[in-house]
Structure 1
Amino acid sequence: MSQSTPPLTVSSIVTTLRAAGCVFAEDEAELLLSTAPDPTELAAMVERRVAGLPLEHVLGWAEFHGMRIAVDPGVFVPRRRTEFLVSQAAALAPAGAVVVDLCCGSGALGVALASALPGAELHAVDVEPAAVRCARRNVEGLGTVYEGDLFAPLPVSLRGRVDVLLANVPYVPTDDVGLLPAEARIHEPRVALDGGGDGLDVMRRVAAEAPDWLAPGGSLFVETSERQAARARETVGAGGLTPRVVVSGELYATVVIGTRRP
């Protein structure tokens, strides 16, 4: 008579995750237990996490700005620090704002902002087909997701009408991509991480075109690193916008805001 495998418990999962190097093993164990539909799937989820798959890809969702955002394997995982960018945009956006989310990934930024703005009109764009499929699930009922490079797939009718332009562009310098944690380096698309030689290549492209798409008084919001902040500010200003840098020490977040003059 064969013996069945004993069911996984919080304690046994924590021990397994700790052995695999998971720093927040207790929290992860609770999330896995609360998400798995049955013991068989729970065991499979623990196995995938131990193998190095990002927790959000194992769960199928990420918590962002108080919401659960679907995140499929191979799609960029929204970072908690980027909640600061969304909060800054929400503070400046008018009701009924026209919002564009470039490099949208899962669509987390646009969904969080549109959900906080009554009557918002949301348009999201990504070049990665997997990200577009994922974003369409999250954005459904709130707006439209387009597949393509930056502004290229957007309707021409949006030119000069965008109140909030969210652009969570890749900003890791090419030579630093190899230094990223394995979870990002192996399991997230390189196009969502690699920002070119100095990390600002995509930001330059966005900043150059942003004034044509923003409404008078509308703003561009981009995240960057603390060490890139000065150059990022110059980059946004070079595109013709009025730039400023805002920082959250708590979230270790740096955001450049570029506003089109009224």
Structure 2
Amino acid sequence: MPSRPDPVIHVIASRLRAAGSVFAEDEAAVLIESAADDAELEQLVRRRVAGEPLEPLVGWVRFGALRLAVGPGVFVPRQRSLRLARLAVRRARAAAVPVMLEPYCGVAPLAATVAASVDRVEVHAADRDPAAIALARRNLPAGAGVHHADAFDGLPRALRGRITVIAAVPPYVPGTEVGLMPREARDHEPTGALVGGGADGLDHARRLILGAGPWLVPGGSLLLELGARQLPVAATRARAAGWRARVHPPNQSSTGVLELVAGNTVA
């Protein structure tokens, strides 16, 4: 849609702000950019004011330098995960033959970032949700591996022992804390992409910690984004399983990154 004068943005932002939007001007700009004409813009604004999440409504989300396809009923990548994505890029660039996997991928923001940033990388993404897999295929380059898999169950056996970087945002919200989440996440994103299982929400993270070893090359990295209170618990579990662990603590976010390496010191 052609660019709009500031007064139009201000009018739409006022409607969004009255409905509770915290970033009304930014949302107004996204709606204007996404609408083909005035009629569609009005429809989008009304749906947003009624409470539909912005990104599935317009069909895309900005993730760093990338514009990723999203849709209703899938997990929307959070901007805080850019930290994990950039760490995955650094680890992939350091590998002689980079092979990257994003389990629990959703729309594959981490794999897409690595694919766009690392030369000659082989990228794979996996999820158990067919809707997420379809969007991941749209967000990844031709030739990327997109697999219907639950963590490592269902991955091609040819990947065993070849992966240099596994990076994931596994579901990690404890079931008792779902009510504390933003309403848009509770009402519009799949519970299976949010709730981690177990009293501490770490069932999926433990599954990755216990299962990643055979899939990695010697010295390969497992990178997990988790809640701040979960990091020391997961690190202790990982060390008990034989990993060397480094915690990248929260930085202006409620989450941090747990970096694990089998048989090597973490730099």
Q: Normalised by the size of structure 1, how large is the TM-score?
A: 0.93
Which runs of structure 2 are paired with 1:98-117 in the superposition (5 Å)?
Answer: 98-117=99-118
RMSD: 1.5
Are 2:50 and 1:51 equivalent residues in the alignment? yes
Match of 2:200 in 1: 198
Residues 176-196 of structure 1: CA deviation (Å, up to 9, x unaligned)? 012211110111110110011
**Rounded Cα–Cα distance in structure 2 between residues aligned with 1:124 and 1:238:** 28
User: Cα offset for 1:50?
Assistant: 1.2
Match of 1:120 in 2: 121
What is the alpha-carbon distance in structure 1 between the residues aligned to residue 96 and residue 125 of structure 2? 18
Residue matched to 1:73: 72
Q: What is aligned with 1:34?
A: 33
What displacement does 1:11 show? 2.4
Q: Counterparts of 1:248 and 1:91 in 2: how far apart (Å)?
A: 19
Paired position in structure 2 for 1:3 = none
Determine the structure 2 residue equivalent to 1:246. 248
Q: Which amino acid aligns with 2:217?
A: A
Q: Using the alignment, how far apart are the partners of 1:95 and 1:86 within structure 2?
A: 19
Q: Which amino acid aligns with 1:139?
A: L
Partner in structure 1 of residue 19 of structure 2: 20
Contact kept in structure 1, 2:89 and 2:113, CA below 8 Å: no
Judge conservation of contact 1:95–1:120 (CA < 8 Å) in 2.
no
Deviation per residue, 1:158-214 (Å, 9 max, x gap): 111110001210111011012211110111110110011211010011111111111
Between stretches 167-176 and 40-49, larger displacement belongs to 40-49
CA contact (8 A) 1:84 1:251 kept: no
Q: For 2:223, what is the secondary structure of its paired residue? A: strand
**SS across alignment from 1:150:** coil
Cα distance in 1, alignment partners of residues 157 and 103 from structure 2: 15
Cα distance change, pair 120–50 in 1 and its aligned pair in 2 (3 A):
same
Deviates more, 1:43-52 or 1:198-207: 43-52
Match of 1:82 in 2: 81
235-244 or 16-25: bigger deviation: 235-244
Query: Are the counterparts in 2 of residues 95 and 117 from structure 1 also a CA contact under 8 Å?
Result: no
Contact 1:96–1:118 (8 Å) recurs in 2: no
Give the number of equivalent residue pairs: 255
8 Å CA contact retained: 1:95, 1:118: no
Report the equivalent of 1:150: 151
CA contact (8 A) 2:231 2:258 kept: yes
- Is the counterpart of residue 163 in structure 1 residue 172 in structure 2? no
Matched-pair contact (CA < 8 Å) for 1:211–1:240: no
Q: Secondary structure at the match of 1:74?
A: coil
Choose 146-155 or 97-106, whichever is displaced more.
Answer: 146-155
Question: In 2 relative to 1, CA 33–170 (structure 1 residues): closer, same or farther, beyond 3 Å?
Answer: same
**What CA distance in whole angstroms lies between the structure 2 residues aligned with 1:248 and 1:66?**
22
Letter of the aligned partner of 2:117 in structure 1?
Answer: A
| Cα contact 2:168–2:223 (8 A) shared by 1 | yes
Amino acid at match of 1:180: M
Check the 8 A contact 2:136/2:146 in 1, yes or no. Answer: yes
Deviation at 1:95, TM superposition (A): 5.4
Report the counterpart of residue 4 of structure 1 in structure 2: none
Change in Cα spacing, 1:49 to 1:239, as seen in structure 2 (3 Å) is farther
Shift of 1:219: 0.4
CA spacing shift, 1:142–1:83, aligned 2, 3 Å: farther
Deviation of 1:96 after TM superposition, in Å, equals: 4.0
Supply the AA of the counterpart residue of 1:146.
H
Match of 2:217 in 1: 215
SS of 1:145's partner is strand
Q: Retained in 2: the 8 A contact 1:111–1:142?
A: no
- 2:137 is matched with 136
Identity across the alignment (%): 44
| Aligned-partner Cα distance in 1 for 2:113–2:231 | 24
How far apart are the structure 2 equivalents of 1:238 and 1:160? 21
Structure-2-length-normalised TM-score: 0.91
Instruction: Give secondary structure in 2 for the equivalent of 1:153.
Output: coil
Unaligned runs of 5+ in 1: 1-7
